[in-house]
Amino acid sequence: MTSDKNGRSQSKAEWIKNTYSRQKERKKSYQSISFREQQALFTAEDLAGFDAGAKLGFPGEYPFTRGVHPTMYRGKLWTMRQFAGFGSPKDTNQRFKYLLEHGQTGLSVAFDMPSLMGYDPDHAMSRGEVGREGVNVATLDDMLELFDGIDLEQVTVSMTINATSTIAMALYFAAARRRNLAMDKLGGTIQNDMLKEFIAQKEWISPPRPSVKLTCDIVEFCARNAARFNPVSISGYHIREAGATAVQELAFTLADGLAYIDECLSRGMAVDEFAPRLSFFFDVHNDFFEEIAKFRAARRIWATLLKERYGAKLESSMRLRTHAQTAGVSLTAQQPTNNVARVAIQALAAVLGGVQSLHTNAMDETLSLPTEHAAKVALRTQQIIAEETGVANVVDPLGGSYYLEKLTDEIEAEALEYIHKIDALGGMLKAVETGYPQKEISEAAYRFQNRFDSGENAIVGVNSYYDDEVHEIATLEVDLAIEATQIEKVKAFRQRRDEKKVTAARAELERACREGRNVMPSLIEAVDVGVTLGEVSDIYRSIFGIYTDPGMV
């Protein structure tokens, strides 16, 4: 084939041969941040045989590639949900009120390490960590103080907590009961995704099997008692931050979700009973189109698996609803104000990818927890995207792009390949026990570091365009005295409670654990009479065992 009489190419191959190959490129190869080789151009030829009806459908309809809602952001903007927490429950309560006053539409609690790992503030393992990375919550009093004066029937609350999620959930429900709020009126999300803890985030108490049991205790309990609450947020964020590629993030996250479905089905639940409330949480990284394609592929794979593998009948079971957070790992300590630009671009990708809620990182998060000012700029970034750019006016505005549809297909195919590999290993729980996903992520992280060291992956202000100018910005100082205050509080709390009731409640919880019953009913009663987070965790340690890091490099 040759070009037509006007000298125009008739095919992509011809264009490359006649036109493009005569040009010079800047680099030898063009790779995405996930090591994907990128060609120069996509045309209709790349989508030959593409069945738009089957692959895309319409927004709000199966397979939901173009979005889970028909109106998307014309009906309702995404929820702007900034993750916050530090110091005492009172400190965080004040930050929550500040964020709500500035137009934030949902709350998201960051807990400190002792709360996440199951230690009361006066435990030796809590030394130096109380209130530093999030808020310290060990008792019902702490939970009540955290949400004091906040209308829990109006605001949805997200809690990022996993190994101790059953305890946080019980504290939340018990606190709501004290305020005369009905469980089935409470809307929110608890992260409660233990598989990704073993894969990436590494916050645990007991080994994978009992941990997955506890995760599914919440799923089961909420399906029957708190139908508006998302009992799990199946999370790729931490997997990606630990070094995974976009495809690994997607595949491992969906495979985690499948493992929870399998566990719930084995308890005799029907898929449509709990699947509509499974929610997701993905990272949104620097490679703009790859990220958008990832969200679209995620929805299509999930819908297809739910329908075809699990025979779901409800469309709500097939809808992948997701929260997203901009990539913390992409932020730089050097020239930190540059992070505002990174976050804006990543947030734009999340919106074009059709997410339901979004956290934008603050510019100072590689230095410390965010200051009030930095947190406000991050929130304003979302408001600018929503109100000024026009991208919220059209549903899935990039749908049909040769490049994006091709990329969505490729990411879908590669993720499915991983999912099938994990199926062959016996599912994600078994794969995690053998360390398979952990190893894959370590490899990718090392590969990324090597590309950074060699300069192939540019990071502006770090390995390119760096300067010696001092770029100081204000950072948040968390008062070290908070540790002592929280220790005194928990000690006084234990003094005040009715020991008889506490002993009985602990014994009943232990029985529930030993008998393999759902722990939630007895746990809510236990925390209500004053059993602390550390004490419940000790029960888990003694009955379910203690997990220690295999320390693989």
Partner 1 sequence: MKGKQKAPIRVLIGKAGLDGHDRGAKVIARALRDAGMEVIYTGLHQTPEMIVRTALQEDVQCVGLSILSGAHMTIFPELIKLLKEKEASDIVVFGGGIIPKSDIVKLKELGVREIFPPGSKTADIISWIESNVVHR
Q: Are strands 106-110 and 83-84 parallel, antiparallel or unpaired?
A: parallel
CA distances from residue 156 to 110, 160, 189, 485 in whole angstroms, order as listed: 15, 13, 8, 29
The answer to whether 337 contacts partner 1 (rule: CB under 8 A) is: no
Question: DSSP alpha helices (H): ranges in 425-532?
Answer: 428-434, 436-453, 481-496, 499-514, 520-528
Unique residue bearing structure tokens 């995704």: 193
Say what the alpha-carbon torsion angle 492, 494, 495, 498 is, to the nearest 10 degrees: 140
Pick the closer one to partner 1 by CB: 115 or 408: 115
Find the part of the chain contacting partner 1 (CB under 8 A) among 93-101, 137-145, 448-456, 489-497. Answer: 448-456
Residue 330 DSSP code: G
Bridge partners (DSSP) listed for residue 158: 108, 189
Provide long-range contacts, Cβ within 8 A and 24+ apart, for 39-48. Answer: 40/16, 41/12, 41/15, 42/401, 42/402, 42/403, 42/406, 43/12, 43/402, 44/402, 45/11, 45/12, 46/12, 46/402, 46/403, 46/406, 47/402, 47/405, 47/406
- From the list 33, 68, 347, 459, which residue makes contact with partner 1 (rule: CB under 8 A)? 459
Question: DSSP alpha helices (H): ranges in 332-435?
Answer: 338-352, 372-388, 402-424, 428-434
**What is the rounded distance in angstroms from the CA atom of residue 431 to the CA atom of residue 295?**
24
CB of 202 to partner 1, least distance (A): 3
- Residue 515, number of CB atoms within 10 A of its CB: 7
The answer to whether 192 contacts partner 1 (rule: CB under 8 A) is: no
The answer to whether 485 contacts partner 1 (rule: CB under 8 A) is: no
Binding mask 124-143 for partner 1 (x = CB under 8 A): xxxxxx--xx----------
CB of 197 to partner 1, least distance (A): 8
Cis status of the peptide bond prior to 70, with omega within 30 of 0: no
- From the list 13, 333, 384, 458, which residue makes contact with partner 1 (rule: CB under 8 A)? 333
CB of 454 to partner 1, least distance (A): 9
Binding mask 228-257 for partner 1 (x = CB under 8 A): -------------xxx--------------
CB of 70 to partner 1, least distance (A): 40
The answer to whether 202 contacts partner 1 (rule: CB under 8 A) is: yes
CB of 117 to partner 1, least distance (A): 5
Pick the closer one to partner 1 by CB: 87 or 354: 87
Pick the closer one to partner 1 by CB: 133 or 263: 133
**What is the rounded distance in angstroms from the CA atom of residue 267 to the CA atom of residue 166?**
18
**What is the rounded distance in angstroms from the CA atom of residue 11 to the CA atom of residue 524?**
66
Find the part of the chain contacting partner 1 (CB under 8 A) among 252-260, 330-338, 399-407, 420-428. Answer: 330-338
The answer to whether 113 contacts partner 1 (rule: CB under 8 A) is: yes
Of residues 390 through 409, those in contact with partner 1 by CB under 8 A are none
Chain center to CA of 443: 22
**What is the rounded distance in angstroms from the CA atom of residue 415 to the CA atom of residue 256?**
13
The answer to whether 326 contacts partner 1 (rule: CB under 8 A) is: no
| Helix, strand, coil % in the chain, rounded to nearest 5 | 50, 10, 40
- From the list 32, 201, 279, 346, which residue makes contact with partner 1 (rule: CB under 8 A)? 201
Query: Tokens representing 359?
Result: 């956290």
- Strand order of the sheet with strand 229-230? 83-84, 106-110, 156-160, 188-190, 229-230
- # residues contacting partner 1 (CB under 8 A): 48
The answer to whether 368 contacts partner 1 (rule: CB under 8 A) is: yes
The answer to whether 484 contacts partner 1 (rule: CB under 8 A) is: no
The answer to whether 541 contacts partner 1 (rule: CB under 8 A) is: no
CB of 113 to partner 1, least distance (A): 4
Pick the closer one to partner 1 by CB: 1 or 124: 124
CB of 453 to partner 1, least distance (A): 5
- From the list 9, 463, 497, 538, which residue makes contact with partner 1 (rule: CB under 8 A)? 463
Q: Which residues in this chain contact partner 1 in the complex, by CB under 8 A?
A: 113-114, 116-117, 119, 124-129, 132-133, 197, 201-203, 241-243, 329, 331-334, 366-369, 442, 445-446, 449, 452-453, 459, 462-463, 472, 475, 478, 480, 548-553
